[in-house]
Amino acid sequence: MKPKKLNAKLLWTQFEDVLAPRLGLSVKERAVYSYLLRHSLVVGKLRLQFAVMALARTLGLSIGAARQAVRRLDELGALRVLERSKSGHLAEMRLPEKIRAIRLHKNGALEAMGAAGMGVPGEASASSLETTDFLKTWALRKAIHDRERGACFYCLRRTPGKVRCLDHVVPRVRFGRNSFRNLVSCCIECNTRKGDRPAADFLRTLYRLGRLTPAELDARLRALKELAAGKLRAL
Ligand SMILES: [Zn+2]
């Protein structure tokens, strides 16, 4: 498949304004993505072959840092490593508009820009949101954490990065899915204590232990219903 002719101005704007901030790219990851893009899509090729060592040397990075950046870009869906061999990596690049974690954003500036020239399928968002596996990439997991705004979904305590995790409201053993309707950001303690119990029972336990006030319990039970109904959107 040959990529269509690129609008370089649009591509660069998308890269700087949407892709890099939304995927939370580090300076090194930005440099690697930008370099690989220059040698692929910008010159009309979808795929490119490169050696991590040469990439590292060109960008003034350590080999470990360059390898790490390629791996993370792959995980985020910004590129796909198709082959690793002695002669190097073979990768297929993704345009910002083709990166799933970004495309799913409902109100994203990318969609607005896409309408102006690159043909982003904005209407695909709602249905793909329903089928998205939110454990799949770092960006999607972050979207769930962002939705709870740094508080545990169950006990409402603040959850700094070290103590927060994602919990399946309906446990996987009971066929709970990795959907935004079934994943919440919570503290490790709640995640452990809840175990395979139904979430509503667990909330009532927190109330009995004095960890939630009656009003908070009501609000959490309501949030649980809204979550299942798909009203608490992630992304
Ligand atoms: Zn908690």
- Residue type at 193 in one-letter notation: R
Does this model's pTM top 0.85? no
Instruction: For the chain, give the percent of residues with pLDDT over 90.
Output: 42
Instruction: For the chain, give the percent of residues with pLDDT over 70.
Output: 86
User: For residue 42, what pLDDT band results from cuts at 50, 70 and 90?
Assistant: confident
Q: 209 — phi, psi (to 5°)?
A: -80, 0
80 C-alpha vs ligand 1 centroid, how far in Å?
36
User: Residues 126-141: pLDDT tens digits?
Assistant: 567 778 889 888 889 9
Please give the mean pLDDT across all residues of the chain. 82
More confident: 202 or 162: 202
User: Residues 171-213: pLDDT tens digits?
Assistant: 876 777 889 999 999 999 999 999 888 999 999 999 999 999 9
Does the structure show a pLDDT above 60 at 31?
A: yes
The pLDDT assigned to 124 comes to 39
DSSP states of 209-235 as a string?
Answer: TTSS-HHHHHHHHHHHHHHHTT-S---
Contact 51, 92 (CB under 8 A): no
Q: Is 93 helix (H, G, I), strand (E, B) or coil?
A: strand
Residue with tokens 């950001």: 185
User: Residues 145-155: pLDDT tens digits?
Assistant: 999 998 999 99
- 33, burial (CB in 10 Å: exposed 0-12, middle 13-18, buried 19+): buried
Q: Which of 4-18, 140-154, 209-223 has the lowest mean pLDDT?
A: 4-18
Residue with tokens 């809840």: 194
119 C-alpha vs ligand 1 centroid, how far in Å?
43
Rounded distance, CA 173 to CA 13, Å? 44
Q: Is 108 helix (H, G, I), strand (E, B) or coil?
A: coil
211 C-alpha vs ligand 1 centroid, how far in Å?
9
Token couple for 202: 């667990």
6 C-alpha vs ligand 1 centroid, how far in Å?
47
Q: Domains, the chain, ranges and CATH? A: 8-122 (1.10.10.10), 132-228 (1.10.30)
Q: How many helices (H) and strands (E) does the chain have?
A: 12, 5
Q: Is 130 helix (H, G, I), strand (E, B) or coil?
A: helix
Terminal Cα distance for the chain, rounded: 30
User: Residues 78-115: pLDDT tens digits?
Assistant: 888 888 877 788 998 887 777 766 654 444 344 433 33
